[in-house]
Structure 1
Amino acid sequence: MEAGSMTIRSRQDRDAAEVGSPVEVNIAVSRTLGIPLATQIRDQIVAAISVGDLRPGDRLPTIRQLAEFLDINRNTVAQVYRLLEAEGYLSTRAGGGTTVAAGAATVAATVAGALREIVTQALRRAEAAGFTAREFAELAYYQAAARTAVPAARILVIDEYQGELDFLRTTVSQTLPDSVVDAALLAHLQRADPAQRAQRLAGFDFAVVAFYSLDQAQPVLAEADLPLLAAGIGPSLHSLRRITEECGGKQVAIVCTEPEGPPRMEASLRRAGITFSSAPRHAHVHQDNLTAVLASCEAIIASQGSTDALTDLAPGTPIITYSRLLSDETLATLRTYTEYVARRRNPTDTGT
C-alpha cells in the first residue's frame, strides 16, 4: 500500500511565500518496497537538498504535519529528523522549527547534486551520439586520471574506541589516498586543556566522526570551529544476509572485544532492519563467564577482533563475523566535501 505524500511547491511559489513558512517536501513512501519508511524519508530529503529543492534556511513541516500527510507514526518522522540533524543536514531550534542547515553536509550534498546533473546530461548527449554508457564511463575515467589530482585535504577522524578509530582511519585513508588522515581518541581531546586541544585541532580542514560519538564530539569541535562530517558505520550486506539466514528464531549472543561494543552492534543491526526473536545476550572476550554465555546461545555474532578467540570456545555453534562498512552516502559525501575544501583553499586551481 502506498502511503501519502507531500509535494514541494515550485521555487517561484516558495520564494513568494511568507517568510518562515514551511516548505512542502516532495516525499512518497511505500510499505511494499521492503525498505524502512524512515530510510525512504531520509533519502528523499537528502535528495531534495542535493538538487536545490530544499536550501539552507528552508523550514520543513513539523513532525505532526509530515506524519499526518504520509499517514505514518510520528515517531518515525521524529527519528528521521533527529538522524538528519545528527548528520548535519537539518537544524532544530526551540520555537524556530526545523530548517535546512548550512553546514558541511548540506554543501556536500548540493555539490554532489550539481555534479550528478552534469554527468546525467553528458551521458544523455553521448548516448544520443551513439556511444554506450560503458564507453562514456571508461573515457571519463581515463580523462579524469590524466588530469592533475585535486589538492589533498587534511582530515581528522575521531572515535571513542581504539578499534573503531583504527577502522575509521584506515577506511578514510583508502577512500582518499591523497589526503592526510590523522586520528584522535575522543577522550584524549576531552581531557586536554583548551590550549593543547586548539593546537591539536589546528590545521585540519574537517573532522570525520562516527554517529554514535556525535553528541560528545560536537562541543569539542565547536571550540575550534572545525566542520565535521558524520560517518555512517554499519554492517556489510554479507553480514546482514548471514544474520538473517542463520539467526532467525534462535537465541543469539553478540560478542565484541570491549564491553561497550555489543549494545552499539545490536543498535546498528536493528537500524538495518534485523529483528531478533529474543533479546540477544551481550558479552566481551575478557569476561569470566564467556564460555557459559556462548553455551546458552544457538548462534554468535562476533566483531572482527573477537572472532578468532571464540572459535575454540564454541565448537559447533555458527559464528557470524560482523564486518563493517562506511555507508555509500558517507563515502560519497567524503569525496565530494574533500573536493569542495580543496577548491575553496585553492580557488585559482582549475585542476588542469
Structure 2
Amino acid sequence: MPFPIVRKNGIPLYIQVKEAVLAEIKTGVWKTGDKLPTERELSEKLKVSRNTVSQAYQELEAEGVLSSVQGRGTFVCDRDDAVRIENRKELLLKIIDVAMEEGLQLGFTLEEFAEFATERARQKLEILSKVRVVFIECNREQVDYFSKKLQFDSGVSIAPLVLEDLSKDTDRYLPDVVASDLVITTFFHYDEVKELLGSRKNVLAISLDPQLETIVRIARIPMGRKIGLVSKSENFAGKVLLALKNAGLDGVDIRVFTQKMEMDIADIVHSLDVIICSPGRRREVEQHMTRRQEIIEFVYKPDVASINLLRAALIDLRRQ
C-alpha cells in the first residue's frame, strides 16, 4: 500500500494522508466494512507523526467516509447517503431495544415505555427551545458566522458577542451573558473569557479548525499568482496567516487588506489573481470581480469532538 507522501510540495502531510486514504477507497483497495490500519501502524508505515494520521482520520470520519468503533478500530463506511442513514437508524434501534429490555426488567410494559419515551423527548425539545447560548469570539466576522452555523434544529438561540465589546463594556454585556444558559468560546480565548466572567458562569470551549478544502485550494495555487487576503479585521487576517503557517504554507506570498486600510475595494480586487476572503466580505469582493479570478472563502468549522460535546452539553442543560 504505497502512499505518495511528499514532504516539500507545500501540501500539509495530513491532507496528503487523507487524500491517499480516499484514493485507496475509490480504487477499491479498501472496501465498505474494511478495517483500516491503526493510527500507530499507519504513522509508522508512512514515517509521519501519529497526530498527522489522527487528523486525517478525524476529517474523514467527520465527512462520513470512515467510522470508528471504540475498542474495535476504524472502518470504511458506505458512501451512499441512504445506506449510511439506514446504518445509523439500525444503531439507534439497537439502543432503543436495549432500553426497552431494561424497562421490561423494571416491570414496565411496552406501552408504558413508548409513553415515557415520547413524553421525555417532548420535555427535552421544550427545554432546548428555551435555551439561550452566548458565543464569544474575538472578531465580528467569525462570531456572526458561527452563531448562524451552530444553530440546531431544536430552536436553540445562539447570540453572538465580540470579546472586545465584553471586555470594554462589561457592565453593559455581562448581565445578558450571566443570564444565558451556556457560554461558548474557542480554546484560544477560553482563559480570557473565564477571567472576565469569573465564577459567575461556566464556559464551554470548542475547537475551530480551517476547512480542509480551503487549505488544499490555497496549497494548489500556481506559483507567480498575485494573492491577497481580504477581511474586515486584522485579527481575522492574523488567524488565517497563522493557520496557513501551521499547515506548512507560511512560504506563500499573501498581501493582507482590511477595512482599516484607505484603499478602494475595487482597486484591491482588480490587482489580484487570487482573492482569499473572510465569509463577511465574499459578497463585496464578488461584486468587484471583472475578470476571471479565483476566490477562496476562508472558512473555519468546529471539529467533530466539539460539536458532539456541545450537543451533549445542551441536552444536559436544565436536567430535571
Matched residues in 2 for 1:43 and 1:222: separation? 37
Report what 2:121 is aligned to.
Answer: 148
Q: Is the 8 A contact 1:233 1:325 kept in 2?
A: yes
Pair 1:320-2:271 in alignment? no
Residue from 173, 187, 190 that aligns with 2:164: 187
Residue identity opposite 1:329 in structure 2? A
Matched residues in 1 for 2:307 and 2:47: separation? 24
> Could you report, residue by residue, the CA deviation over 1:183-211 in whole angstroms, capped at 9, with x for unpaired residues?
323233223456x6653233333311134
Equivalence map 1:121-140=2 (5 Å): 135=86, 137-139=88-90
Identify if the C-alpha distance between structure 1 residues 327 and 33 changes in structure 2 by more than 3 Å, giving closer, same or farther: farther
Pair 1:166-2:141 in alignment? no
Distance apart, 1:256 and its partner CA? 1.0
Residue from 32, 35, 43 that aligns with 1:30: 43
Identify if the C-alpha distance between structure 1 residues 265 and 134 changes in structure 2 by more than 3 Å, giving closer, same or farther: closer
Pair 1:252-2:252 in alignment? no
> Could you report, residue by residue, the CA deviation over 1:94-144 in whole angstroms, capped at 9, with x for unpaired residues?
xxxxxxxxxxxxxxxxxxxxxx769x9xxxxxxxxxxx9865522455798
Matched residues in 2 for 1:246 and 1:42: separation? 23
How many residue pairs align between the two structures? 234
Distance apart, 1:285 and its partner CA? 4.9
Report what 2:6 is aligned to.
Answer: none
Identify if the C-alpha distance between structure 1 residues 169 and 246 changes in structure 2 by more than 3 Å, giving closer, same or farther: same
Q: Is the 8 A contact 1:254 1:281 kept in 2?
A: yes
Residue identity opposite 1:164 in structure 2? Q
Q: Is the 8 A contact 1:258 1:285 kept in 2?
A: yes
Q: Is the 8 A contact 2:139 2:236 kept in 1?
A: no
Please give the secondary structure, in 2, of the residue aligned with 1:287: coil
Equivalence map 1:13-92=2 (5 Å): 28=40, 30=43, 38=51
Report what 2:182 is aligned to.
Answer: 206
Q: Is the 8 A contact 2:134 2:180 kept in 1?
A: yes
Residue identity opposite 2:43 in structure 1? S
Distance apart, 1:334 and its partner CA? 0.7
Matched residues in 1 for 2:45 and 2:227: separation? 28
Pair 1:284-2:258 in alignment? yes
Distance apart, 1:262 and its partner CA? 1.4
**Unpaired stretches in structure 1, ≥5 consecutive residues:** 1-26, 45-115, 121-131, 347-352
Report what 2:216 is aligned to.
Answer: 241
Task: State, as a whole percentage, how many aligned pairs show the same letter.
Answer: 15
Q: Is the 8 A contact 1:207 1:227 kept in 2?
A: yes
Q: Is the 8 A contact 1:291 1:314 kept in 2?
A: no
Residue identity opposite 2:211 in structure 1? S
Report what 1:4 is aligned to.
Answer: none
Distance apart, 1:254 and its partner CA? 1.4
Identify if the C-alpha distance between structure 1 residues 258 and 200 changes in structure 2 by more than 3 Å, giving closer, same or farther: same
Distance apart, 1:37 and its partner CA? 5.3
Pair 1:227-2:210 in alignment? no
> Could you report, residue by residue, the CA deviation over 1:66-96 in whole angstroms, capped at 9, with x for unpaired residues?
xxxxxxxxxxxxxxxxxxxxxxxxxxxxxxx
**Unpaired stretches in structure 2, ≥5 consecutive residues:** 1-38, 58-68, 73-82, 97-116
Q: Is the 8 A contact 2:134 2:183 kept in 1?
A: yes
Distance apart, 1:333 and its partner CA? 1.3
TM-score, scaled to structure 2: 0.57
Q: Is the 8 A contact 2:229 2:276 kept in 1?
A: yes
Please give the secondary structure, in 1, of the residue aligned with 2:234: coil
Residue identity opposite 1:160 in structure 2? C
Identify if the C-alpha distance between structure 1 residues 299 and 193 changes in structure 2 by more than 3 Å, giving closer, same or farther: closer
Pair 1:177-2:154 in alignment? yes
Identify if the C-alpha distance between structure 1 residues 228 and 40 changes in structure 2 by more than 3 Å, giving closer, same or farther: farther
- Root-mean-square deviation (CA, aligned residues, Å) is 4.1
Matched residues in 2 for 1:32 and 1:247: separation? 31
